[in-house]
Structures are given as structure tokens and as C-alpha cells.
Structure 1
Amino acid sequence: MDSTAMTAPDGLDGPSTVFLSGNGAEAKRTTGRLLTDLGWPPSSQLDIGGITTARGQEHFALLFMGIAGGLGAHTFNINVVTRPSAQSPQSM
């Protein structure tokens, strides 16, 4: 996401996901509060684990540039969508 989406997530057409990575629990809580202050509800904040998971976010830049080229715009984000809990793979 670009800075416009980061600071005004309610300006997007629908819900999206922001990722948190890091080894410090208190730092993640502080970051989560700051994100909430910017308009990111806790349900949109996805803790993906320790600091090593930040590498995936860094590599997302390549996908971001491809999507931006396809859209002709840089203000967008993605949304992580999961299966409803009633339809977990074990129940299928």
C-alpha cells in the first residue's frame, strides 16, 4: 500500500489487511494502537509472526509494482480472505 492507503484505509473501496512482524510483543501492541489511530480496525491487522516474516513484506514490493502497473494507480491494498470456520479443510 502507499502512504495514502496507510493513513486513510477508509478511503479504499473495501476492507484490507495490514501486516505486523516483529519479535517484540510490546512493540507490536504499540504499532497496533498506532494503526488503530490511523483507522485500521484490529480485525484488519494481521500479526504474521517474528521479524523474519518481514522479508515476505519486503518482497511484496515486487507484486505491488505489478499491480500498480495493471491498475494504473498506486493507492490500493490487498485483503487476506480466509474460509469460514464452518468450512475448515477437515470438515470438507
Structure 2
Amino acid sequence: MKIAVLGTGEVGRALAPALLNLHHAVSVGTRDPEETFHSNETFRELLNQYPGIRLASFAEALRGADIVVNALYGPACVEILSQLSAALDSRIIIDISSPFNGRIEGAILNPVNTDSLGEQVQRALPNVRVVKTLNTMAAVVMTEPGIVGTADHSVFLSGNSADAKETVTELLYSLGWSDIVDLGPISTSRASEMLLRMWIDLYKALGTDLFGFRVVRPAKSDPHTLSVP
């Protein structure tokens, strides 16, 4: 597939080479490719290591893409994506954005509880198929779940399109994920986005970002298993 990764931050730098190694055609979109190449030494080193990754403007990266990864800075992503609405029409967007402004000390989640960034992206782009996922872990864990224990921790999906979620599920399997939990429509991204507060506090408590969340289920034969109509 042709995959456009929007954003050159930590998430984009983790996903782009991982997707390239899975034999996808990967373009990374940024506002100004020349400025990024000359000023972002970390990303320049990544391009030297993985010459198959194409650095391009947002519009160029999106051209012909089957899947778009929103790895943009959360507080700015809805505005940026809205400006690209024509190029994004009918695409699958994997939304990894975070409702947290890490540049402000003491920042809180915004939006939270009654809305989510996943829903805001979907409302801003009604003709695209947004799938929220990979937003409950560190960037390095997104592409290498086995770096955490036995890799049996959980990754969550939220989205309104069953077909889009099926496509994203296959991509997650190829990245090494095995426990993929479909939470339901895009409104359920409120829940996974709110896990960020727990993630931050766990990171501080554990002193590492190499951890994940695991959903432990009762065995089907367990007599205490509840039947939900």
C-alpha cells in the first residue's frame, strides 16, 4: 500500500521506517520539506538510514495514498487536516493524535470526556474514514509490541467504518500486534484518549515508557462470565 505519514515527530519517525520495512511505499508529509531536512537533524539521519522514505509536502505525500497516518501534534492536527480536506477525501486516516499540550506545564486533556480528537477529526472530514488507534503507548512500542514483555498487551480501535477498521487491523497484525480490541464507533476514542492521563502517571511512577495496557478476559467456560444482551 501507499501510506502517507503526516508529521516528523517521534511517532512519525517510529512508524515510517516500520511501514517501509513491511514493503509499503511510505511518504512523510511536512509543511516545508526543505526546512525540515535542513533543521531537523534527527529526521535527516532517519532519511539517510532509510532512503526509501520520501519526504514531501503534505499535499505531495497525500497524492495516491491508500492510508494516511495522523502523527501530527494533537492541538494543531484538526486545523492542519481541515486545510487538506480535498486531498484527504475518502481516505482511511489512522489517528494517533493526543489531546494534550505537552508544551504547557500542568496542561490537561482537551477535549476530554464529552468529546475527543478522534471525533473532531471525523467531524472536520466527514468523507474520510477515521480509525483511532496506537494512541495508548510510547512511539517505540507502536511498531515493536514485543519490546514490552510478551507482546500480549492490547491495542484499541475506534471508528465508524467496519471496512476501514478491518484494513487497519490487518496493518496492526503485520506490526506484531495480536490483541486488537475494537471498542466501537469513533465516539469511543474518548476512552482511549483519556488513558493518556494514566499513561503519563505510570511513566512517572515506573521510570520507563516501555509498558502497555492489557485487557484480561475471563475464560468462556467461566461460570462467573456475564452475558451481555
TM-score greater than 0.5 by the shorter chain: yes
Q: Give the structure with the larger strand fraction.
A: 2
In structure 2, the residue matched to 1:12 is 148
Larger radius of gyration: 2
Q: State the 1:27 CA deviation.
A: 0.8
Q: State the 1:37 CA deviation.
A: 1.3
- The answer to whether residue 188 in structure 2 is matched with residue 87 in structure 1 is no
SS at match of 1:40: coil
The list of structure 1 runs, each at least 4 consecutive aligned residues, that deviate by more than 6 angstroms after superposition, is none
Return the alpha-carbon distance in structure 2 between the equivalents of residues 56 and 81 of structure 1: 17
Q: CA RMSD in A?
A: 1.4
Q: Which has the higher contact order (CA 8 A, sep 6+)?
A: 1
Return the alpha-carbon distance in structure 2 between the equivalents of residues 37 and 48 of structure 1: 20
SS at match of 1:78: coil
Residues 1:88 and 1:6: Cα distance change in structure 2 (over 3 Å)? farther
Which runs of 5 or more residues in structure 1 are unaligned? none
- The answer to whether residue 183 in structure 2 is matched with residue 48 in structure 1 is yes
1:44-83 aligned at under 5 Å gives the runs 44-83=179-218
SS at match of 1:86: coil
Of 130, 136, 139, the match for 1:3: 139
Q: Give the structure with the larger helix fraction.
A: 1
TM-score computed with the length of structure 2 as normaliser: 0.37
Return the alpha-carbon distance in structure 1 between the equivalents of residues 223 and 155 of structure 2: 24
Query: How many residues are aligned here?
Result: 89
Return the alpha-carbon distance in structure 1 between the equivalents of residues 215 and 166 of structure 2: 21
AA aligned to 2:144 is: A
Q: State the 1:88 CA deviation.
A: 3.8
Q: State the 1:2 CA deviation.
A: 0.6
- The answer to whether residue 166 in structure 2 is matched with residue 29 in structure 1 is yes
Which runs of 5 or more residues in structure 2 are unaligned? 1-136
Identity %: 34
TM-score computed with the length of structure 1 as normaliser: 0.89
